[in-house]
Homo-oligomer: A and B are copies of this chain.
Amino acid sequence: MATFSKVVSVGRDVLDGAAADAGDFRRRMQGRGILVMHLISSPGAGKTSLLEATARHFAGGARMAVLVGDIATTRDAQRLAPWAPVAQLTTGGACHLELPLVERGLAQLEPLDVEFLFIEDVGNLVCPASHNLGQHRRVIVLSTTEGDDKPGKYPKAFRTSEALVINKLDLLPHVPFSVEAAVEDARRIQPALEVFPLSAKTDEGIAAWCNYLTHERARLLGDIGCTTT
Q: A75-B152, A155-B71 are in contact. Are A42 and B123 (CB under 8 A)?
A: yes
- Interchain CB contact under 8 A, B153 and A75: yes
The interface residues of chain B lying within 8 Å CB-to-CB of A126 are 71, 95, 122, 124, 127
The interface residues of chain B lying within 8 Å CB-to-CB of A127 are 95, 124, 126-127
Interface CB pairs A-B, < 8 A, 12: A43-B125, A43-B146, A43-B150, A44-B143, A44-B145, A44-B147, A72-B153, A123-B125, A124-B127, A127-B127, A145-B145, A170-B174
Tally of A interface residues using CB under 8 Å? 33
Copies of this chain held together in the complex: 2
Query: A199 vs B155: C-alpha distance in the bound complex, in angstroms?
Result: 28
Interface residues, chain A, CB within 8 Å of chain B?
42-44, 70-73, 75-76, 93, 95, 122-127, 143, 145-147, 149-150, 152-156, 168, 170-171, 174-175
Interface SS of A by simple majority? loop
Query: A219 vs B175: C-alpha distance in the bound complex, in angstroms?
Result: 37
- Interchain CB contact under 8 A, A123 and B153: yes
The interface residues of chain B lying within 8 Å CB-to-CB of A44 are 42, 143, 145-147, 150
- A154 partner, pick from B71, B76, B155, beta carbons under 8 A: B71
In whole Å, how far is A22's beta carbon from the nearest beta carbon of chain B? 20
Q: A126-B124, A145-B168 are in contact. Are A153 and B71 (CB under 8 A)?
A: yes
